[in-house]
Amino acid sequence: MEVVQVKTPEKTSFRAFTTAAVNHMKKLQMEQDMVTFVEENKRLKIENESLKEKNASMNQILQSRRKELNEVKNIVENLKFENKKQNALAQILSDLLVNPDMCQENQKLKDENAQLTEMVKLSDEQLKIVKENGKLHHENMLLKVQIDALCGKIVHQNSKICGHKLLG
């Protein structure tokens, strides 16, 4: 035997009311969720714009720092080059000053000057001339040293211009 359910108007109306109420509640919940999502979306857009601005600012600062770093690197490279140049010049000058031939020549000139002074009784005027001659000879030697150093510097600069590097 089969049981047949008969729909009565009261059951149908209650069921329709319940379904409508549930649908209305779902609709209200969806509207509330939509408002929440719209607000969250606005907040996220504002936060995103703020982060983009911070990122742009950081990129600008980073670019500025890179430029400063490159400038400092160039300064350091120039200073290293100048240091090598000065060291080369100092080495050339010290080699010339410590050169035994120069020391011997200086001593020879001093001895020669002393001998000449003793051998000849010179008047004050003649003695001044001999001393001036010795002084000029000494200055001449110093100028030769400076010329040699400048020649070394010129050779170094020319090799730099031509793309060659000094050893050392």
pTM for the structure as a whole = 0.39
Instruction: Please indicate, yes or no, whether residues 75 and 139 belong to a single structural domain of this protein.
Output: no
Give the whole-angstrom CA distance, residue 86 versus residue 91: 8
pLDDT for residue 37 = 95
Instruction: Please indicate, yes or no, whether residues 64 and 117 belong to a single structural domain of this protein.
Output: no
Lowest mean pLDDT among 1-5, 21-25, 117-121: 1-5
CB 98 within 8 A of CB 112: no
Tell which wins on pLDDT, 72 or 119: 72
Q: Is residue 17 one of the residues assigned to a domain?
A: yes
Q: How far is CA 156 from CA 29, 84, 160, 166, in A?
A: 84, 10, 6, 7
Split into its structural domains, the chain has a count of: 2
Q: Is residue 91 one of the residues assigned to a domain?
A: no
pLDDT for residue 47 = 95
Residue 51 is which amino acid? Answer: L
pLDDT for residue 17 = 87
Instruction: Please indicate, yes or no, whether residues 65 and 114 belong to a single structural domain of this protein.
Output: no
Instruction: Please indicate, yes or no, whether residues 76 and 133 belong to a single structural domain of this protein.
Output: no
Give the whole-angstrom CA distance, residue 134 versus residue 128: 10
Tell which wins on pLDDT, 110 or 27: 27
Residue 31 predicted with pLDDT over 50: yes
pLDDT for residue 168 = 44
Q: Is residue 107 one of the residues assigned to a domain?
A: yes
Q: Is residue 87 one of the residues assigned to a domain?
A: no
pLDDT for residue 2 = 58
Q: Is residue 132 one of the residues assigned to a domain?
A: yes
pLDDT for residue 25 = 95
Instruction: Please indicate, yes or no, whether residues 128 and 168 belong to a single structural domain of this protein.
Output: yes
Q: Which residues span the domain enclosing 50?
A: 10-81
Give the end of a domain, one of 23, 47, 81: 81
Residue 24 predicted with pLDDT over 50: yes
Instruction: Please indicate, yes or no, whether residues 76 and 103 belong to a single structural domain of this protein.
Output: no
Tell which wins on pLDDT, 86 or 43: 43
Instruction: Please indicate, yes or no, whether residues 27 and 58 belong to a single structural domain of this protein.
Output: yes
3-state class (DSSP) for residue 6: coil
Residue 35 predicted with pLDDT over 50: yes
Residue 1 predicted with pLDDT over 60: no
> Residue 138's Cα: distance from chain center in Å?
46
Tell which wins on pLDDT, 15 or 118: 15
Segment 88-143, tens digit of pLDDT: 887 777 776 666 677 777 788 888 877 776 766 556 677 678 788 888 888 888 88
Q: CB under 8 Å to 87, separation ≥6 — which residues?
A: 168
Which residue in the block uniquely carries the two structure tokens 């714009």?
Answer: 49
